[in-house]
């Protein structure tokens, strides 16, 4: 088995165990036992269990940031479409990444101070990017100017991120279907007069 592949297996197994047992309840011994490798192998790739946790967190946020920047950089789409695309991307990631998503949301407090600072910075970057989309939408006249864009941004993130608590990949609706209901609700609201408005795809 290649070296890179082994590192990936440690990350994958660590992620699975952190999700099921929680970070603090999982030992390095648990991880290496399940993989049938030695502790030495683990320490070849990671200096500590915390470093593995950071790796999982970093990959998650970097992936999400990269996708967000691609959405922001598309000059063909308006702000409403961008908001819908960011929402869909977030919920799809929660669906597809499973354990990594849960760890990203749940285990932040188990990072050391230095890593925590990096992660908070990256999360803030994501938040501010989304706020920029909202602000641009207000400036272009697409979105209401009377609701504070910082609070609106928290609201959009809340709707999407909360879904890691309840979204069921085996459930009736797909991630994309859920995202479209949420985007419709946020952009058009629950008022009857807004029923059956179609958003641009």
Q: Which stretches of the chain bind a second copy, using CB under 8 A?
A: 22, 24-25, 80, 83, 106, 109-110, 137, 141-148, 151-152, 154-155, 157-163, 166, 173, 178, 181-182, 184-192, 194-196
Distance separating alpha carbons of residues 200 and 67, to the nearest angstrom: 20
Judge contact between 103 and 56, C-beta under 8 A. Answer: yes
Residue 41 vs 188, nearer CB to a second copy? 188
Residues near 82 by beta carbon (within 8 Å), at least 6 away in sequence: 71, 72, 74, 133, 137
Distance separating alpha carbons of residues 107 and 193, to the nearest angstrom: 42
Q: How far is the CA of 119 from the CAs of 27, 33, 81, 85, 110, in angstroms?
A: 23, 29, 27, 23, 12
Judge contact between 161 and 90, C-beta under 8 A. Answer: yes
Structure tokens at 53: 């946790």
């Amino acid at each position: 088995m290649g070296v890179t592949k082994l590192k990936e297996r440690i990350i994958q197994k660590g992620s699975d165990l952190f999700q099921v047992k929680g970070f603090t309840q999982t030992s390095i011994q648990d991880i290496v036992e399940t993989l049938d490798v030695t502790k030495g192998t683990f320490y070849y790739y990671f200096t500590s269990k915390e470093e593995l946790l950071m790796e999982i967190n970093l990959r998650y946020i970097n992936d999400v940031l990269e996708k967000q920047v691609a959405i922001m950089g598309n000059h063909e789409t308006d702000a409403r479409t961008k908001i819908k695309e960011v929402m869909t991307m977030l919920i799809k990631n929660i669906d597809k990444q499973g354990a990594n998503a849960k760890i990203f949301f749940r285990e932040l407090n188990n990072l050391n101070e230095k890593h925590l600072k990096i992660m908070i910075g990256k999360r803030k970057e994501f938040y501010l990017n989304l706020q920029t989309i909202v602000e641009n939408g207000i400036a272009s006249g697409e979105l209401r100017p009377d609701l504070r864009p910082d609070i609106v941004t928290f609201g959009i993130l809340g709707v999407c991120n909360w879904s890691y608590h309840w979204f069921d990949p085996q459930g009736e609706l797909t991630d994309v279907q859920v995202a479209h209901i949420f985007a419709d609700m946020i952009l058009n609201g629950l008022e009857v007069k807004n029923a059956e408005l179609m958003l641009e795809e």
